[in-house]
Structure 1
Amino acid sequence: MERIMMKQGRCLLLFVAVLSVVWWWGGPLTPSPAYGADDENCLMCHKYIKMGRITEEGERKYYYVKESIFKKTVHNRVRCRDCHNYIDKLPHDPVKVGVTCNTTCHSIKNPATKKQFNHKNIYEVYRASVHGRDKVAKSARDADKPYCIFCHTNPIYLPEEDEVPSQITDRCNVCHQDRNFVNHRYAHTGRRIKQVGRDSRQIVALCSICHENEEMLERHERLVHEEGEELGRKFPFAAESYKESFHWKVTKYGFNEAANCLDCHAKKENYYLNVHDIRSSRDPKSTIHENNRVETCKRCHVYADRSFLAIDPHPTERKDDNPLVYWVEHIYGMVGDAVTYALIGLMLLETWGRRRDGVAWVLRKGTTWRRPSKRGRDRIWL
C-alpha cells in the first residue's frame, strides 16, 4: 500500500513539473481576451518572437505579432484574413504577393454607408499619381516608387495613453451601454482630434528617404530616359534644394507654418485624400503646373502674383541649374578667402617687423607689445 502511494506521489510530482514547464514556456493555458479574438488561430504560430526568415537578398523579415500591442492599433478589429485573403489553409503556402491595400474588409462595415469597408477611394487616387504602382512592381521603374506600406504602418491609436480615460467614456457609456463600443469609438475619434499625423519635419524626412537617395535617383532617371520620357529639372536634387530654402531653414527649428513638401505638391481641399495625388509639374492638374503656381503660392502669400514666381522655392548653387548663383557663390568664397589670408599675412608681416625692431609681445594687464625706451621707461606699442 505504501509503495502504491509513493508511486502515485511521484506521478503527481512529475505531472506538476510538466505542467509548470508548459505554463512557463507557452504562457497560461486559458487564452487572453486578445487571443480569443483571433478566431482564425493565426497567433498559434505568429505569437513566437523568432518567427521570420532571411530573404534571398539577405533582408530580415519578421512575422511575429505581439497581441498586446496589436489590440491597441488602428487595425485591431480587422480579422487577419480580411487583409491576408490569399490564405486558405494552415499551415499556409509561402506568400508571394502579400497584402494589397484596396482589399475589402469583410469584418468591418462603414457606419456611414453600411457597406463593407475598404480604402479603394484613396487607392485609386494614389494609383493615378506619380507614385502609383501595384504591390508587386511590374517594372524596375515601378520598383523605385513607394507602395502604401512604405509611408503607412499600423500605428497605435493613442500612444501616449495607456488606458482609455474613464472620466470621458463613463458619460458615453450611460447611453451606449457597451464599454467595448465606447472605448473603440473614443480611440478612433480621439486619434483624429489630437492631430497625431506627421508634422512638417517628419513629412520632409519621409520624402527625403527616396528623394535624397542618390543611387535610387540616378537609377530612376536612367530608366525613365530609356523609356523616352523626362523628369522635372529639379527631380535629381529636389530634397537637397528644398533644404537650401527659407521654408526648410525655419521648419527645421520647429516652425510648422512654413511650407513643407505636401503644402505645395498637394491640393489643400480634402487634404488627407489629396496628399496621395502628387502629380508631375507637366500635368495640368498638378498644383505646381505653371498655370496653377500662383494659386498655390497664395495659400500662404496672399498677395502673390506672376512676378512672385521668380522666387525659386528649390534654390541651388549647382552650375547646371543656376549658373549665376554658382559663380556668385564661388567668387564670393574666393574673395572671402583672399581677404582672410591677406589679413593673416599683414599680421605676420607686422609681427616680423616689430620683432626685428626689438619689440617683445608680453602678457601684462592684457596683451601688448613693449620695448625698452631710451628714456629709461618702457615704451608701449598698442
Structure 2
Amino acid sequence: MTFTTISRSLLAAVVALVVSCCLDWEVQAADMGNCLLCHKYPGLSRVDEAGRMKLMFVNEDIFNKSVHSKVKCEGCHTDITKIPHDPAKPVDCLTECHIVEPTSEQKFSHKEVEKFLNNSVHSKIDEKGRPKQFSEDMPSCKDCHDNPLFRPLAFVKKVRPGIAEDAMGRCRVCHKKEDFIFRFYNHITTRMHKSRSPLNIAQACGKCHDDPELVARHNLKTKAGYSYSETFHGKAANLLDESVPDCLDCHVVKGKSVHQMYGNDDPRSSTYPANRGNICNSVDCHPGASVKFANYKVHAEYSKEQSPVIYWFTTFFIILTGGTLLPLMGIMFLDLLRRLFPNATIMRRRK
C-alpha cells in the first residue's frame, strides 16, 4: 500500500467523522459531558453498598422527548466533575439549572415550588417549621414527577394528544430552524393542557392515598383513589376519557399551582364547604350547578361507619335483587331439568 493510498484513506475517514459529527450535532450538544459514552448501554448497572441493584442506563430517545431534554446532565448531577466519576449523589430538584428564565433573566430554580409545598397539606413541616408526625410519608418531587414525556396538543380539526402538523406548518412560515420549531411547539403546547391523563393522575395519587397503613396513620376517612374509581368520573377515566375531572381539578383552586393544595378544613382549599360550589359549576364542568350539587360525596365508600345511609340503601337493593333473582333462577333451573328429563322422578308413587 502506497503513501498516497494511506493518505487518501485517512482523509476519507476524517471527512466521514466530521460529517457524522455534524449530522449528530444536536445529540452531541445535548450531551456535552459525553455521558452517553457509557450510559447508552442497557445493561449498565451496579450493586450499591446496601446490596441494591441500580440501573444506570439512559434511554436517549425517551430523554430527548421529556420535559428535561434541554437540561445538561451536569445541570442536575452537579457533583460529577470527572470521568470516570465516583458514585453520584441523589439529585436535588432545588438546584439552580443552567437554563435562564426569560422573564427574569435569572437561572431557573424550583425553589418557588418548595415554598408552595411547605405551605400546603403535603408539607413535611408544620406552621412553626417543625417536622410533622410521619413526615416521611409526605411526597417528594420524584414521587409525583417521573420525568414524563411531552404530550403536545393537536388542536387542528380534532382535539387529541399529539403533534398538529398543520400548526407546525404555520410555525415554519417565520421560523426556519426545524429544531427550534419542534422544541418551542412542544414546550408551549404541552403546558396548554395536562401532561397526564385523568387515569394516570388518579393512579399517581392512589400510590399514597390507597395505602391502608398510610391512610390509618394520617386518620384519612377514605381510600381516595379507590373511591374515585367507583364514581361515574372514575369509571370514565378508566375507559381513557380525558374530559372528566380528576384529583387536581377538584383539589386545586383554579388558576393556582397544583402544589398549592390544602386540607378540606382550610378556608383556602377548593374543597372547603363554602368553596365546593365553585368546583362543579365551572365553565368546564356543570355551568349553573347549585351549591347543593357539590355536596355529592365523591369519595363515599361502602361503609356503615362512614356513610350509613349509602350502606343501608345499597344493602337493601342487594337483598332485593338477590331475593328476586335467586328464586326466579331456581324455578328456571327446575323447569330446564323437567324439559331435559321429562320422566325423571325423585320419589316413585306407590301402586
Q: Provide the TM-score with structure 2 as the length reference.
A: 0.71
The whole-number CA distance in structure 2 between the counterparts of 1:245 and 1:220 is 20
Please tell me whether residue 321 in structure 1 is matched to residue 292 in structure 2.
Answer: no
Corresponding residue for 1:22? none
Contact 1:141–1:220 under 8 Å retained in 2: no
1:265 Cα deviation after fit: 0.6
In the alignment, structure 1 residue 332 sits paired with structure 2 residue 317 = yes
Q: Secondary structure at the match of 1:61?
A: strand
C-alpha change, 1:324 and 1:57, in structure 2 (3 Å) is farther
Contact 2:150 2:195 in 1 (8 A): no
| Contact 1:319–1:326 under 8 Å retained in 2 | yes
Match for residue 113 of structure 1 among 82, 104, 113: 104
Identity of aligned residues (%): 33
Determine the C-alpha separation between the residues in 2 that align with 1:259 and 1:68: 32
1:81-112 CA-to-partner distances (Å, cap 9, x unmatched) read 2211233444333334x122222112x11122
Per-residue CA deviations over 1:193-216 (Å, capped at 9, x if unaligned) read: 5x4622322222322233233xxx
Aligned length: 314
Distance 1:197 1:125 in 2: 20
Q: Deviations over 1:304-343 (max 9, x none)?
A: 22x4454222222212212232233233323332333433
For residues 347-371 of structure 1, the C-alpha deviation after alignment (integer angstroms, 9 at most, x for no partner) is 577789x89xx9669xxxxxxxxxx
Which has the greater radius of gyration? 1
Q: Distance in 2 between matches of 1:248 and 1:171?
A: 43
1:172 aligned to 2:158? no
Tell me what 2:185 maps to: 186
Partner of 2:157: none
Change (3 A) 1:276 1:58: farther
User: Hey, what's the Cα distance between the residues in 1 that align with 2:266 and 2:71?
Assistant: 37
Amino acid at match of 2:297: D
Q: CA 1:52 to 1:201, structure 2 compared with 1: closer, same or farther past 3 Å?
A: same
Q: Secondary structure at the match of 2:187?
A: helix
Aligned mate of 1:104, from 96, 99, 105: 96
Q: SS of the residue aligned with 2:207?
A: helix
Counterpart Cα distance in 1 of 2:272 and 2:194: 31
Residues 169 and 183, structure 1, Cα contact 8 Å, conserved in 2 = no
Counterpart amino acid of residue 187 in structure 2: H
Tell me the residue number matched to 2:280.
297
Q: 1:198 to 1:345 in 2, by over 3 A?
A: closer
Contact in 2 for aligned 1:279/1:285 (Cα 8 Å) = yes
**Structure 2 runs not aligned, ≥5 long:** 7-12, 14-18, 126-130, 153-161, 345-351
| TM-score (norm. length: structure 1) | 0.66
1:142 alignment counterpart: 135
Match of 1:218 in 2: 213
Tell me, in whole angstroms, the C-alpha distance in 2 between the residues paired with 1:48 and 1:140. Answer: 43
Distance 2:63 2:334 in 1: 73
Q: Deviations over 1:260-315 (max 9, x none)?
A: 21111111124xx2x2222211222211122322333332443322x445422222
Flag the 1:71–1:219 CA change in 2: closer, same or farther, 3 A.
Answer: closer
SS of residue matched to 1:121 = helix
Aligned partner of residue 188 in structure 1, secondary structure:
helix
Alignment-mate amino acid for residue 278 of structure 2: E
Measured in 1, the distance between the counterparts of 2:233 and 2:151 equals 30
Of residues 213, 224, 228, the one that matches 1:238 is 224
CA distance in structure 2 between the aligned counterparts of 1:351 and 1:110, rounded to whole angstroms: 77
Q: Give the root-mean-square deviation of aligned CA atoms.
A: 4.1
SS in 2 for 1:303: coil
Give yes or no for contact 1:51–1:63 (8 Å, CA) kept in 2: yes
Q: How does 1:84-95 map to 2 (within 5 A)?
A: 84-95=77-88
Show the counterpart of 1:278: 261
The correspondence for 2:43, drawn from 43, 47, 50, is 50
Q: Distance in 1 between matches of 2:44 and 2:166?
A: 31
Q: 2:246 aligns with which of 252, 256, 260?
A: 260
Q: Secondary structure at the match of 1:53?
A: strand
Structure 1 residues without counterparts, runs of 5 or longer? 13-18, 20-27, 225-230, 362-382
